[in-house]
Structure 1
Amino acid sequence: MNNIEFDRQHIWHPYTSATNPLPCYEVASAKGVTLTLADGTELIDGMSSWWAAVHGYNHPALNSAAHQQIDTMSHVMFGGITHQPAIDVSKQLLAMLPDGLDRVFLADSGSVSVEVAIKMAVQYWAAQGQPNKHKLLSPRNGYHGDTFAAMSVCDPVNGMHSVFNQVLKPQIFAPSPQTRFESTWNEDEMLPVIELFEQHHHELAAVILEPVVQGAGGMRMYHKQYLKRMRQLCDEYNVLLICDEIATGFGRTGQLFGCNHADVVPDIICLGKALTGGYLTMAATVCSNDVALGICEGSPGVFMHGPTYMGNPLACAVANASLTLINQNHWPQQVVQIETQLNAELSECRGLSIVKDVRVLGAIGVVETQQALDVAQLQKHFVKHGVWIRPFGKLVYIMPPYVITPQQLSRLTYAILHTLKHFS
C-alpha cells in the first residue's frame, strides 16, 4: 500500500468525508513560498498554510530559533514555572498591541484562545456579582473555531456547525455587517444591533467579532465604522468586547491588527496563526488589567484555565523570532504590493459568468462564485497550474505569504482566472 492509499484509508483530514475523502497531495518539503510534492512537482502556496506561514517556509531565523531552543528545553509545565521564551514573546506582544491590553495568557491554538476569551468574559462578570451576564453576542457569518464554546458563537445557520446546534449553548446573533470596507458607511445597519443591546445587555458578557474581515464564515470585508460602533455600544451598555484576530492579526489586512483600522482597543484579543509563522501550534489571549484583576476579585480568585502545553518554550521561542521579523517592518510594503497586484489581476475575474464578486483587502484576495464548485476538480486544475489554493464552498481565495514575489503572485492569480474560465 503506497502512502496516498494508506492516508486515504486510515488518516482523517479536516472537513473531509471518511467514505469519500478529498484527494490529498503528499508534500515532501517546503521552502520560501514553494511546496514540493513527493513526485517533484513544485506548487506556489497561496494559502500560507491556512494563513499562518506569513514569512514563508524554512525561514532561517525561525529555523535557528527552533534549533537553539530545542537543545535547551523543548517543554516544561507553566504552572509555577516561567522561562525566558515566554517572557520575551509576551514583551513583544504587549509592545505591538494597542495600549490597554496588558495581561497575556498563552494558549495552545486559535480555537482554544477563543475558549479562553469566552471564559474570561463569563468569569469576569461572575466575579463582579453579575453571573446573569453569561451570553455572547456575535455577528452572523462569523467563524471562531471548532471547539464547543467557539462553535456556539459561529453563525448557527450559515456556518459549519449547524449539526451541533442542539448541544451548543444558545447565544445571541446580530445581523452580519453589510457596508463594505471601501463603501460609504450606512448607520442604519446598526439599528437592529442597538435593539439587541437594549433587549439583552443585562445578560451579555461580551461581543465577539472578527475585526474588518470575517474569515472562514464567508471571507467578507466590512466597514471599520461597524467595529467602532460596536466598541461604543459595548461601553454604553457595560459589555466586554472580544476581538478575534487569529486570522487578521500581524498585518494581514494592511494594519498590524484589524482593530487598528478603527482605532479600537478591545477588552480581550485572540491571536494565533501567524504568531509562530506557521511553525508550531500556539495562540495568545490578551486582556486588559481591568479584566484580569476583575476576574480575580471574586471566588475562586484565580482564572480557571490551564492547558498542558501552555507557554511551551519551543513554540514561544519560534513565536518570538516570528514577531521579531514582523517588527522589522517589511510587511507594510509587502502587503501593499500584494493588495495592489491582487486588485489589478483578480479584477479580470469579474467578467466571468461564474463569478458573483471579487474583493481584496491587504494580503487577502477573494473570488466568490455564483454556486459552490467541486473542490477536488478545482484543486486538480490548480495543481496543473503549479499552485496550491484550497477553495471552500463558493469561495476561491488566496492569503499568500508576505514574502511572495510579484511573479509568483501572478502565477496564483493567473491560475484562478483560467481555472474559473474552464468551469464557466
Structure 2
Amino acid sequence: MKLDDINFDAKHIWHPYTSMTKPIPAYPIVRASGVELELADGRKLIDGMASWWAVIHGYNHPVLNQAATQQLKKMSHIMFGGITHPSATALCRQLIDITDDKLECIFLADSGSVAVEVALKMSLQYWQARGEARHQFIALQRGYHGDTFGAMSVCDPENSMHSLYHGYLPKNFFVQAPQCGFYQQWQAATLLPLQKLLTKKAEKIAAIIVEPIVQGAGGMRIYHPNYLTAVRELCDHYNILLIADEIATGFGRTGKLFAYQYSAITPDILCLGKALTGGYVTLSATLTSRHIADTISKGKAGCFMHGPTFMGNPLACAIADANITLLRNSPWQKWVKDIETQLMDELFPLRDQEKVTDVRVLGAIGVVEMKNSVNVPELQRNFVAEGVWIRPFGKLIYLMPPYIITAPQLTKLTQAIKKIVIKL
C-alpha cells in the first residue's frame, strides 16, 4: 500500500471500535500465509489473534483456497428462498454430525451477531406458538453476544461496550457471572443469583443465553463446567430454553470441539460463527431441535420470520464444508493441547509480576489480565516492533493463535508479551 492509501484510510474508513477524529493506527497488511501477516514494507508478523478467533488453519490454506476456487467456477451466490444447493446440504450434514443429534434444524446466516438475533427470535416465536407470553431473556454479567440490537440487549449493560445504548434496548435480566474458575473447586453458591431470579421471574423468561465456559469480549473469563451443567438443569426444571453462544469458542478453540461438551449437556439452540469458514468469509449457523423448529412452524406466522439476503451463500458454505472436513481430518486435539501446555509454561510465570492480576489458559486461549487498562496504540506499536500481531483490549493482553502455529512461533508471541508486561 502507498502512503496515500494509508492516509486515505485514516481519514475516511472506520475500523472496529475506533474514533474518526483520533483513529488508532491501522497497519497495512498486503498478504498473509500460514501464521504470518506481511506488512507493506515487507516485515512479517506472527499472528497471535487468528483474526479474532476465526483463522484456525492459518491463512491462504491450499485446501480452503481450492474449495473457494471450485465453488467460484459454479456460482458465488444464489438466493436461498425457494432454492437449495449442494454446498449448503453438505455443510449442514457435517454440522449435525459434529454437534448433537438433537440439533437437527439449521438456519444459515451471515454473521455471529445475526446468529444470536436468530436464536433470540427462535425463542420468542417458540413461546408465542405455544401461547405463552415470554418476552425476556436471562444473560450473564460480563457477557458479550454481538453488536446488533437484539444481541446487544443480552450483553452486559453496564460493563460491556454497549452501555451507550442503555435505554434503547429491550429490558432483559442479568445475573452475576460465574465466580468459580475452570480449575478451581466447584462452589455451588455461584448459582444462587440465578436460582433466586428464576424463583421470581421464570414464567417471563423465554431463554437463558450463555457463552459456554469462556466469556470472550466481556473479560476472557474461564469458568467451571459445573456451572453450565447446573444451568441446563435449571432450564429443564423451569421449562426455559438454553441458548449456547459458541461463536467464539466453537471448532476446537477450548480443547473440546464445542465448549458446551465440557459439561456434557445439549443446548436447545446453538450459535456458531467465526471459525466456521476458517476465517475466509463471513457465515454463521444457528442450530436447534426438531421440536422447537416444528413448534415455531405451527405458530401464527406459519414459518420462522427471518431471511437474510446472503443466507446460505454457496461460496461461504463450500469453504465452511471444506474447513470442517480439514479440521476433522487433522490432529487438532494434539495441536490445541500442545498450545495449551506451552501457554501455561510460558505465561504462568507472569502471575508474579506486580502489575498482573491473573493469567488464564484453556486450550488455544491465553490471557494476561493487567491491574490497569493498557494503552492499546502504544502496545500495538511495541508488539509490531517485536514482529508479532497481538491486539490487547481493556486490561487484557491475550493470545488465540491459529492451531497450526509452531512452538518457536508461539514462543515469540509469549516472549513479546513477557517483555512488554515487564516494562509496563
**Normalised-by-shorter TM-score class:** over 0.9
Secondary structure in 2 matching 1:320:
helix
Q: Which amino acid aligns with 1:107?
A: A
CA distance in 2, matches of 1:240, 1:129: 15
Secondary structure in 1 matching 2:119:
helix
CA distance in 1, matches of 2:137, 2:158: 17
Q: Which amino acid aligns with 1:15?
A: Y
Query: Does the aligned pair in 2 maintain the 1:209–1:244 contact within 8 Å?
Result: yes
CA distance in 2, matches of 1:206, 1:297: 20
CA shift at 1:204, angstroms? 0.3
CA distance in 2, matches of 1:22, 1:92: 40
CA shift at 1:381, angstroms? 0.5
CA shift at 1:351, angstroms? 2.0
Secondary structure in 2 matching 1:284:
strand
Residues 19-418 of structure 1: matches in 2 within 5 Å? 19-130=21-132, 132-418=133-419
Q: Which amino acid aligns with 1:27?
A: I
Query: Does the aligned pair in 2 maintain the 1:366–1:396 contact within 8 Å?
Result: yes
In the alignment of these two chains, the number of paired residues is 422
CA shift at 1:401, angstroms? 0.2
CA distance in 2, matches of 1:352, 1:40: 35
**Residues 196-240 of structure 1: CA deviation (Å, up to 9, x unaligned):** 111111110000000000000100000000000000000000100
CA distance in 2, matches of 1:166, 1:135: 15
Q: Which amino acid aligns with 1:383?
A: V
Q: Which amino acid aligns with 1:220?
A: R
Secondary structure in 1 matching 2:89:
helix
Secondary structure in 1 matching 2:413:
helix
CA shift at 1:368, angstroms? 0.3
CA distance in 2, matches of 1:76, 1:319: 16
Secondary structure in 2 matching 1:246:
coil
Q: Which amino acid aligns with 1:165?
A: H
CA shift at 1:392, angstroms? 0.3
Aligned residue in 2 for 1:420:
421
CA shift at 1:59, angstroms? 0.1
CA shift at 1:99, angstroms? 2.5
Secondary structure in 1 matching 2:103:
coil
Q: Which moved more, 1:382-391 or 1:185-194?
A: 185-194
CA distance in 1, matches of 2:192, 2:373: 32
CA distance in 2, matches of 1:202, 1:347: 45
Query: Does the aligned pair in 2 maintain the 1:99–1:265 contact within 8 Å?
Result: no
Query: Does the aligned pair in 2 maintain the 1:331–1:402 contact within 8 Å?
Result: yes
Query: Does the aligned pair in 2 maintain the 1:273–1:282 contact within 8 Å?
Result: yes
CA shift at 1:181, angstroms? 0.3
**Residues 17-57 of structure 1: CA deviation (Å, up to 9, x unaligned):** 11101011000000000000000010000000011000000
Q: Which amino acid aligns with 1:140?
A: Q
CA distance in 2, matches of 1:300, 1:28: 48
Structure 2 unmatched runs, 5+: none
CA distance in 2, matches of 1:11, 1:194: 46
Greater than 6 Å deviation, 4+ residue runs: none
Query: Does the aligned pair in 2 maintain the 1:369–1:394 contact within 8 Å?
Result: yes
CA shift at 1:420, angstroms? 1.1
Query: Does the aligned pair in 2 maintain the 1:16–1:22 contact within 8 Å?
Result: yes
CA shift at 1:175, angstroms? 0.7
Secondary structure in 2 matching 1:2:
helix
**Residues 63-86 of structure 1: CA deviation (Å, up to 9, x unaligned):** 000000011010000000000000
Secondary structure in 1 matching 2:174:
strand
CA distance in 2, matches of 1:390, 1:333: 26
CA distance in 2, matches of 1:341, 1:395: 19
Aligned residue in 2 for 1:9:
11
CA distance in 1, matches of 2:383, 2:315: 35
CA distance in 1, matches of 2:355, 2:185: 27
Secondary structure in 1 matching 2:255:
coil
CA shift at 1:147, angstroms? 0.2
Q: Which amino acid aligns with 2:58?
A: G
Q: Which amino acid aligns with 1:311?
A: G
CA distance in 2, matches of 1:170, 1:129: 21
CA shift at 1:195, angstroms? 1.0
Structure 1 unmatched runs, 5+: none
CA distance in 1, matches of 2:74, 2:297: 34
